[in-house]
Amino acid sequence: MMIPIVQYRRPLMLVLVVLLLNAALILAFVLVPSMHFELPAAVNTNLHTLFETASIVVSILVFSAGWFTFSRGGAQQCRAALQCLPCCGHS
């Protein structure tokens, strides 16, 4: 049984809006010279450690969600996990 594409319209629009907002923010930082700044080394190191830890936590959550989905069995759960897989590589 196929799931109608209409059910995915709202989440896809939400993802598109978030991506466009992120792109606008990045363009603002790149194109506006007054937004260019450098952080002190101590702050930069602390932020790097914080963001790296957050990315490790997110990757563990993605792995555990995939592990749980595949361990439950069934074609529906495996299909959902495979459809989400391409989004996991963009970090």
- What is the predicted pLDDT for the residue at 91? 46
Could you identify the residue written with the tokens 């978030």?
18
Distance of alpha carbon 45 from alpha carbon 84, whole angstroms: 32
Reading the block at residue 7, the tokens are 């059910």
Is 83 in a helix, a strand, or coil? helix
Burial of 62 (0-12, 13-18, 19+ CB in 10 A): middle
Distance of alpha carbon 40 from alpha carbon 18, whole angstroms: 30
Distance of alpha carbon 34 from alpha carbon 19, whole angstroms: 24
Beta strands in the chain (DSSP E): none
Per-residue pLDDT of the chain (91 residues; tens, 9 = 90+): 555 666 777 778 888 899 999 999 989 888 888 877 788 888 889 999 999 999 999 888 878 877 776 666 555 666 666 666 666 655 4
